[in-house]
Amino acid sequence: MIQRIPKASARIAFACAVALANPGIALAHAALHHASPDAGSAVSDAHEVTLTFTDNLEAALSSVEVTDSTGARVDEGKPQVYGDVMRIGLKTLLPGSYRVHWRAVSVDTHRSEGSITFSVSGQ
């Protein structure tokens, strides 16, 4: 005996197959794609940190902090989020090491976080 699959069930099965074939669509997370200053770099000066992600961000839920080697915050103002880019201004930085810690929430509410470091060499 042959059973027929209702159209709705066939559509659901097709949608599941597409989601499994393209997990990036179903499981998108805003991963860090690029940072400026670059991770691990030594720069002579920095006035802001710019982070670019692989997915658009939810501005109200995403954040970034920049700290010096003592843990003191050196970022200035609130982070600005536009699409997949998050920026924050910096106070005047002295030579030394700095840590950028970010928390990103993509528009589909997946969360990710991480840290990078850079250093300021002075002149």
Q: Which domains does the chain have, with CATH numbers?
A: 29-120 (2.60.40.1220)
pLDDT for residue 7 is more than 90 = no
Q: For the segment 51-108, what is each residue's pLDDT rounded down to a tens digit?
A: 999 999 999 999 999 999 999 999 999 999 999 999 999 999 999 999 999 999 999 8
* pTM value surpassing 0.85: no
> What are the residues whose beta carbons fall under 8 Å from the beta carbon of 66, sequence distance 6 or more?
49, 73, 74, 75, 88, 90, 98, 99, 100, 101
